[in-house]
Structures are given as C-alpha cells and as structure tokens.
Amino acid sequence: MTQTTSRPSDTKLSQFRVKGEIPVPMLIGWLTLAAVPILLFFAWRSLDRGMPGSAIALIVFAVLLSVNGIVYLLGRNSTLQRRGFITAITILFTYLAINAVEDGSAIIWLFAYPPIIFYISEAKVGVLACSAGLTGVALLFSPLGDLVFDSPYSTSFRLTMLAVLGFEMSTCYVLDQSRRRSKLGLLKLAAEFEYAAKHDALTGLANRREAHEQLETEYQRYLRNSRGFSVLLMDIDLFKSVNDNHGHQVGDETIVMVARTLQEHSRKVDTLARWGGEEYLVLLPETNTVEAVKTANRIRQTIASTPIEVQDGNINTTISVGVATIHGAESVDRLLQRADEALYRAKTLGRNKVCDFETTHG
C-alpha cells in the first residue's frame, strides 16, 4: 500500500486554474455588470421609440441577470450562477434575433455568445449550445422562419450572418481546445515539479523535507487530540560494502528493494521517506511502541529473506531499526533523537535487529 503522493489525474487537474486565468464566477460577474446597463439603455431607447413590449422584455432580462448575480453573492454557488447566466443570455439572444430589436441590428450580439459559452462552460456544452444556436439562426432565416416570425433580414445579410457566425463558432472551438490543452499541460508541469520537490527520485518515497512536514502535521494533531504516534528510523547494514563489492547499480537495487518492502508492509496513513542515503524513516500515526516494533520486525524479516541478484549469485540485505514513540510534550527533534539512539543500539548489538528506545533505556 503505497503512501507516496500520487500524481493528479487529468480530471483532477482540470478543476484547477492557471495563475492569471480569470475565474469563471468573476468573469460572469463582470459580464453581468456590463450587460445590465446596456440592457437598460436599449430598454430606454425602445420606450422612446414607442415599443414598450421590447422595453419591458429587456428590463426583465436585466433583472434576471442581476438576481442571478445577487444569488451567487449570497450563496457562492458557482454552478448555479453559471447555469443561470447561460440560460438567461441564451433566451436573451434568442429574443433579440426573433424580435429584430433595434431594427434587426441587435442580432449581431450573437457574435458575443460563442466565446462566452466556451469560456464559462465545458467544451461539450459549448459545442451543443453553439450548434443549437447556429441551427436556430438558420431556421429563423429560412422560409419557415419568414412564415412564423416575418423577419426583416435581407438575403445577403442572412447568408453573411450564417457564414460568419459559423466561422466564429468553429474558431472559438479550436481556440478553446488549444487553451484547455495548454492549461492542462501547465498544470501537469506544475504537478510534476511539486511531486519532484516532495519525493525521492530513485524510490518514489517522500524525501526528507516532506517527511519533516508530515512529522510536524502529525505532531500538531497529537498535541490537539493526544493520539500518539511512532517513528521507525532504519538503516541498511553494511551498505558501503555492497557498493564497494558489487557496484552502485546493485546498491541502487538494494535501496529500491527496501523501499518496495516498506510500501508492502505499511498502511495508507503511514508516511514512508528516504531519510538520506541508505536511511529510511517511517511515520506510524496512532501506533504505540509494541505495534511499531511488530511492524519493524515484519519489515526487517522480509528484507532479510529477499535476495538481490548479482553477477555471481545472490546477496542478502539486512537492516537495523530504531523505534521511538512520542511522549508527553517532547519535540519532534527529541523524538527523532531517541529513534536515532535506538538505531545506534541496534547496530552495536550486531545489526539486523529492532530496538525501541524505551526498552533500550528502560
């Protein structure tokens, strides 16, 4: 059961945003602030031109967008905000096209729809919305649309509008896909850097810095809840002779074998770290000394019975382990010092042993 931090999947990465990218709720808020006064302005123009029905409709849309923004500010539900905004502007643009507001010129606001819809929603939603929109405009401009709505648009305008709108939607889709791929690539790169900063390249275990952070986190939890924890500090016995006699490649294989054994005999909640060189540290949350010693012995025995293949046969590796359990209000440094003393004791007793500090100094 590996305790190393896994690399985020593409699905998880897509939920994050790149630094400098405008958050969707903020963008919708800005668009709402811009749209409401524009709608009210054209509502006033409609009233001035003797078209109260158009004025009332535009005021209603301004109110709906405003209410959607207020609801978001109160509840901070970004999904509801996005869906409400998409619904409102879809109906609004449909109304502008069908009713030929501003002598039919208001239909050009449809060109604002594709970039907005692709940015604030998933790609498939953008494709479906734009496809439906283009189909709707084509129907509006068709002979059937003339029978139902009596649209004032000329043939040349209709052809140009459909061609340009279709081109814009296609372009927005291509650019949106490129943006999403670039974002995912940047997030993957950031995740790789973060992973490398916290993990040992050879074994995949946490590195010393990450182990210190996990120790501090567990220590703070211990201070709050009084739930003890133990640490295992272990060292490969006579590792220098392995390198000297068999080469660094065999030495690396030995280090990886020990790391793999740690993963096989530990829990998901445990933190496994390459402490440095041939040293390892295992953090065991909510584990007393007796349980920690049992875990250490299982690991030790497995390693001792796992041969490493070399040119002229196999060699066996052993480890020595020091065990210490947190006591009272002692610091993390003191805990590690006690584990190190227990490890030293295991070495002096002949190696391939597990010593706990309490027994050693009892």
Which residues belong to the active site? 278
Q: What are the Cα distances from residue 340, in Å, to 60, 233, 280?
A: 73, 7, 11
CA separation, residue 1 to residues 147, 269, 304 (Å): 69, 9, 20
Measure the CA–CA gap between 215 and 204, rounded to whole angstroms: 18
Task: Residue 211: count other Cβ atoms within 10 Å of its Cβ.
Answer: 25
Run of H or E including 229 = strand 229-236
Angstrom distance (rounded) from CA 272 to CA 183: 32
Among 224, 336, 229, which Cα is nearest to 284's?
229
Rounded distance, CA 17 to CA 31, Å?
20
Angle between helices 208-225 and 332-348 (to 10 degrees): 120
CB 235 within 8 A of CB 343: yes
Compute the radius of gyration of the chain from its Cα atoms.
33
Cβ proximity of 172 and 114 under 8 Å: yes
Q: Identify whether the C-beta of residue 191 lies closer than 8 Å to the C-beta of residue 13.
A: yes
Q: Which helix (H) or strand (E) holds 53?
A: helix 52-75
